[in-house]
Amino acid sequence: MTLKFTKTSRTAELEGVWLDFDDGTEEDNVLELLIARSTGNPHYEATLTKLMAPYKKKMEQGKDISNKVAKDILKKVIAKEILLGWNEEKLTDSEGKPVKYSFENAMLLLHGDNDLFDFVTEESAKKSNFLTKKK
């Protein structure tokens, strides 16, 4: 038996919800991002476990991994399991061409834009983004 009080949508948690990232520079400079929930997400947890496996023995010995390694791992997990897409017409490269969503492009975006990385990380953990809609 499973008990659950919080009324979140499991579909939204795993398949993502569209959220607006506003960089604050221009009125219309908003990027729609498809973000899954990190909390309780088995895909997120499995990928994190897999990527942390090489460091498990070191951590069991009480040694820390560097902040850079930890952040790189987190960005890989988020690019693979949390940031699931974006509005390709709003995200353009230096030549003004739309950037298609892919894991590789998600990695480039998360490494190149710390504010966007922080936004995705924070929003993926917010319960309010994944609540079941009232009928």
> What are the pLDDT digits (tens) for 44-70?
999 999 999 998 887 778 878 888 999
Half-sphere exposure of 118 (CA within 13 A, CB side): 5
Task: Give the integer Cα–Cα distance in Å for 72 and 52.
Answer: 11
Task: Give the integer Cα–Cα distance in Å for 24 and 4.
Answer: 37
Domain map of the chain by residue range? Answer: 10-129
The pTM score is 0.88
| Higher-scoring residue by pLDDT: 65, 13 | 13
